[in-house]
Each structure stands twice: as C-alpha cells, then as structure tokens.
Amino acid sequence: MCGIIGYIGEKRVSGILMNGLKRMEYRGYDSAGLSIIENDRIKTIKKKGKVSELENLVDHSAVSATIGIAHTRWATHGFPNDINAHPHHDNSNSISIVHNGIIENYSSLKTKLKSDGYTFYSDTDTEVLAVFIGSIYEKVKDLESAVRLALREVDGTFGLLVLSTHEPEKIIAARRGSPLLLGVGNNEYLIASDAAAVIQYTKQVIYFNDNEICTISKDGYHIKTIDNEEAAPIIEEIEFDLEHIEKGGFDHFMLKEIFEQPETIFDAFRGRLLIDEGDVKLGGLRTIMESLRDANRIIITACGTSYHSGLVGEYMIESLAGIPVEVEYASEFRYRNPIIGKNDVVFSISQSGETADTLAAVKEAKKKGATVMGIVNVVGSSIARETHGGIYIHAGPEIGVASTKAFTSQITVLSLIALMLGRMKKLSKYEGQLIAKELINIPEKIKQILELTDEIKIIANKYSNARNFLYLGRGYNFPVALEGALKLKEISYIHAEGYPAAEMKHGPIALIDENMPVVVIATKDEIYEKVFSNIEEVRARKGKVITIANIGDEKIRDVSDHVIYIPETIPLLTPLLTVVPLQLLSYYIALNLNCDIDKPRNLAKSVTVE
C-alpha cells in the first residue's frame, strides 16, 4: 500500500530517498515525506500529493545528511493532507517514524497516552505509534528496546522504520504483515518495502520475517525477533534488473506491460512444459502431488484481477481434470468460516503476494489444516512465504496499478496446473500434447493482436465519452468480460459491468439503448451460436456492439458496429488472447480522457489493509 525507504551510508541521503520514493510511488500516491538527521536535529519535509510535490520542496544541494527515512502514502487513517503525511514524530521531536500497515489498537493506546499528557496533531495511527515509542524511550533510554517494547503492545501490521537523534547513527526497522527488506550494499544499507527501491544500489537483499526487528548502522546490521531472540538472516539476490522497472520508451508502465505479454507468457511456461509427453513439470508442487491427485476439491482464493484469473482456472481444471473447483473472494473466504475438508487443496493467487485479504485467507486455510499453495509473482513476498509451496509466475515487476501481464501469466500457470492434473486423471497423452503445442503458439498470436493497436484506438476515440459499458462473454470468456470491465473502471473511471452473455436478458438488458457500448467476446467455440444470439438481442435494443471475434468470421460483421479480429486458438487458451484487446481498449480510452493511467485515483498497487 504505502512505500517506505530508509538509507544509511556515506552518500547524501536526500537524492537516494527521493529516487526510492519515485520507484515505489505505484504503491501509494496521496502524500509523501522524508526525515533526515542534520546538525543533531531531525529535519522532516512532507507534502500532500504526488512525490513530485515533495521533490519541489527538497533542496538537495543544501542537504549533507547520510541517514534518513521516507514514505509515500495511501491513506487508511485520516485524509490525505500535509499533517497526516508521514513521517510522524514523538512529542519530543527526537524520534521520527515511517510506517506501512495498520495499528489496530491505536485508539486505546491514544486514549491512554492522552491521559498521560501526550499530544497528537494528526488523525493517524502512525503518530500514535511514534508517541508511544517516545514515551517508552523516556523510561528505557535505549532506542531498540523502546521500539521492541512498543511493538509487543501493538495489534495490527507494520513495516516500520525509526530514526532518532537519541541514537543518530542508527535506523531501527521492524516487520509484521507488511513487506520489508534490507538491501546490503558496500558500506551502505537500504531498507525498503519494495525491491524496486533498492535495486539501483544493490541486488543483495534480506527479506525480513514477521516479528523481526533489525538495528542498522553504517557498520552492519543485527536482526532479532521482537521477543529478543537471534534471527538467522539469509542474503538473497533480486531476480530482476533496473531496466525492468523503467518505462523503456513507452508512455506508461501499463502499455509497456501489455506489450511485454508475449515474453511474460513464455516465461511462465518456460522449462515447465514437457511437449513430447503432453505433460507438465512443476517443481513447486512436487511435495503435494499425492494430495492433488486425491483432492476432492480445489479452492482458489484471490482478489480483483487475480480472482478473475482464478475463475478461468476453475473452468480449466474442471474441464481437463474433472476435479471440482470453487473460487472465492479472499475477503469473503476468511469471514464466512469456510468448510475445508481433509482432502481439499487451496490455491491463493496474488501478483504482489502482499494483498492483506489474500494473506488472511491463506492463514485461515492453514489454520483449518489445508494444504495451501501460492501462485505469486513477487519473489519473497508474504504470500509466497506463508504458503506451503507454490509456483512463481515469473512476470517480472508489474508497476502499472492496473494489472495486465500478471493476469495472463497467472492464466498460463493455471493452464499448466490444469494440464498436469488432467494428465494425472483422465487426459490422454495425445490431448496433452495438443494443449502443450498450442500454448507454445500463444506468444506469437499475442504479437499479432498487439499490431491491432491503431484499430483499437479508433474504437476508443468513438466511445471515450460513454458513461457506461457492458462486457459480455461466456464459458472461458466470462471471467475475461469481468476483467475487461474492471480494467476500464480502474483507469478511466467509466462505469462498466461484466456479465455472462446469457445473463444479460435477466436484468442488465434494461440498461441497453443507443448510448450503451457493449463489448462482446464471441470467439469460435461450442457456444458461439448462443453468443451470436445474445449480440442480436443487444442490437435489437440499439446497443453499440464491439465484438472480439476470430479472424475469418465474416458473419459477425453483420451484427457488430466494430469487430476486433484475433487469431484462433483452442477454447481453453482463448482468455490469453481475448483479454489483450480489452486491455488496449481501456488504455486508449483512459488516455483520451487524460487519466493518470499508471496511478489511478484512490487505488494502490498492493492492498495491504483488509
């Protein structure tokens, strides 16, 4: 949600902090701030708005400090304004903190601290934590102990950095439920919620575990648990390079990521497909092969776009392996006391690996004794670490808040799982080979779709002023209709709904008139004729029909205002193709409307609050 960064070393800190904030801005962008120590005093600058607003206030030439912390915020407690922006101070102005997460018992702590005479200036839970740490420091006179003792009393989640003039050559970092890593450089250390913020300086990182606290000075670091036991940190190497988190000539990360899909899909199946055997090898599932074969049911939990890919996975696994699959919003799963049987296997899908609802669902399923596997993009993320095992989708960093390449990589991995389970059950080697061979063709077919950009721009120009959109699809393409609608809503703020095409006549058809663009996915499969009839129903009510159809389908022109022709594939893999024109359509509509495509209003890339 928020992004935090700290630096301690020999370089001037302000540029490094600002650079880190810019790289993490996709995590939250309603305010930003930093604290440094200079001339034995904490200097804090913070400002409502994007990181660029803060940048305008920082005079790098006047800053010689080599230690500091910074934050980019997505508001949870308190409006986005200058006062609520981080960092927050204790009452003596000698302790400054940045925090990602939520202090759930902040209200009772605040009442107690107020009755002890402490004062508060902001509406945030973070300021309560700063003042609380300060109040303990007054008694123990040791910064690490003060932080540790405070955190023992705190309910909730935190990725936390603490800077203090009491011990001006240290940063204290702590983690519970919010991502945090230590970048280990040459005579310098960076602590951040995101590898993207440190990679320019070092690729060597330590991912903190929950309930760890680390004291960092120029000379080294020391990690313990909050219970004061020694931890055993492991240094790992960041898997991606700097170029992966830069726009590389594209106007927006979202467009770059849409265009990366031929490669990212390839990376998702690379080394995993056994073409000759018509089978799949997934090392991350090795330990649960028997549980999977004997599974009575598979439960998939996820949120947003990842939930939509889970729905595609449901169709795939049920069709190839005949195992019943249920897909649940992670946010609902946890709170409805789900029934999980001994032979059920749970898959959690998450791009970021940090989504609080999904993480909570993982913990709930584990508590109930389930085997829980992750399908995750970000290496070392909380969900990747919390699950019993799983599969990385290898899509590389996804910076655009609207998820695109992660969706197609998740579907690719789900198709591998479905194929593997199918081969363990009823699918013949021959059928397996057909699917495997077709999957290999998908990147090339996506390249062909990406060449349709000019056509899609023309359609976008025509409908950019529409206030509502409907998206219709059936079977494998019903979740794609949901995803198409979500993409449009997120980045252009146009109201859009996705429906199974046949459901339209049970209600949404009342909305259709000459002002309603209806995007219909009508690729050639066994329900093509039914979808064709659904299009006729839209036409009869004067709706404007934009159809995604297969090359060669001339008949569909007669019932469509616009047709986007895409290559044919087997029904199982169509979502990998049909979603691409929908991503582009949303992108160009949002561009016409001058929307902030990579940082849509009110959204954050990873939603680390429930």
* Residues contributing to the site for ligand AGP (CB under 6 A): 303-306, 350-352, 355, 358, 401-403, 490, 603, 606-607
Active-site residues, by number, are: 2, 605
Of 547 and 606, which has the nearer Cβ to ligand AGP? 606
**Closest separation between CB of residue 464 and ligand AGP, Å?**
20
Q: How many CB atoms lie within 10 A of CB 137?
A: 24
Of 415 and 534, which has the nearer Cβ to ligand AGP? 415
**Closest separation between CB of residue 223 and ligand AGP, Å?**
26
Residue with smallest beta-carbon separation from ligand AGP: 304
Of 68 and 380, which has the nearer Cβ to ligand AGP? 380
DSSP 246-282: S-TT-SSHHHHHHHTHHHHHHHHHTTTEETTTTEE--
Query: CA–CA separation, 5 vs 180, rounded Å?
Result: 9
Of 63 and 359, which has the nearer Cβ to ligand AGP? 359
**Closest separation between CB of residue 306 and ligand AGP, Å?**
4
**Closest separation between CB of residue 83 and ligand AGP, Å?**
28
What's the Cα-to-Cα distance from 150 to each of 91, 139, 160, 527, 577, rounded to whole Å?
Answer: 15, 12, 12, 60, 51
Query: CA–CA separation, 75 vs 188, rounded Å?
Result: 31
Tell me which amino acid residue 594 is.
N
Helix axis angle for 304-321 and 478-492, nearest 10°, is: 170
What is the maximum span of the chain, computed from C-alpha positions, in angstroms?
80
Of 129 and 300, which has the nearer Cβ to ligand AGP? 300
**Closest separation between CB of residue 303 and ligand AGP, Å?**
4
**Closest separation between CB of residue 257 and ligand AGP, Å?**
11
Tell me which amino acid residue 188 is.
E
Question: Which residues, at least 6 apart from 390, have a Cβ–Cβ distance to it below 8 Å?
Answer: 284, 285, 347, 373, 374, 375, 376, 384
Of 355 and 415, which has the nearer Cβ to ligand AGP? 355
Query: CA–CA separation, 184 vs 172, rounded Å?
Result: 15
Question: Distance of alpha carbon 425 from its chain centroid, rounded?
Answer: 33
Of 26 and 221, which has the nearer Cβ to ligand AGP? 26
Residue labelled with tokens 């050639």: 524
**Closest separation between CB of residue 336 and ligand AGP, Å?**
19
Of 144 and 314, which has the nearer Cβ to ligand AGP? 314
Long-range CB pairs of 142-147 (<8 Å, 24+ gap) are 143/95, 143/167, 143/170, 143/172, 144/170, 144/172, 144/213, 144/215, 147/172, 147/174, 147/213
**Closest separation between CB of residue 557 and ligand AGP, Å?**
32
| Residue 528 DSSP SS3 | helix
Cβ–Cβ < 8 Å for 501, 559: no
Starting at the edge strand found earlier in the chain, the sheet holding 3-8 runs 41-48, 31-38, 67-73, 3-8, 189-192, 181-184, 204-207, 236-237
Cβ–Cβ < 8 Å for 397, 196: yes
Of 547 and 608, which has the nearer Cβ to ligand AGP? 608
Tell me which amino acid residue 462 is.
K
Helix axis angle for 405-424 and 304-321, nearest 10°, is: 20
Of 44 and 403, which has the nearer Cβ to ligand AGP? 403
Question: Which residues, at least 6 apart from 391, have a Cβ–Cβ distance to it below 8 Å?
Answer: 282, 284, 285, 373, 374, 375, 376, 413, 416, 417
**Closest separation between CB of residue 357 and ligand AGP, Å?**
8
Of 473 and 571, which has the nearer Cβ to ligand AGP? 473
Cβ–Cβ < 8 Å for 402, 490: yes
Dihedral over alpha carbons 93, 198, 1, 597 (to 10 degrees): 120
**Closest separation between CB of residue 585 and ligand AGP, Å?**
15
Give the DSSP H or E segment for 565.
Answer: strand 562-566
Rg (CA), the chain: 25
Query: CA–CA separation, 309 vs 301, rounded Å?
Result: 10
**Closest separation between CB of residue 600 and ligand AGP, Å?**
8
Here the tokens at position 61 are 């030439």
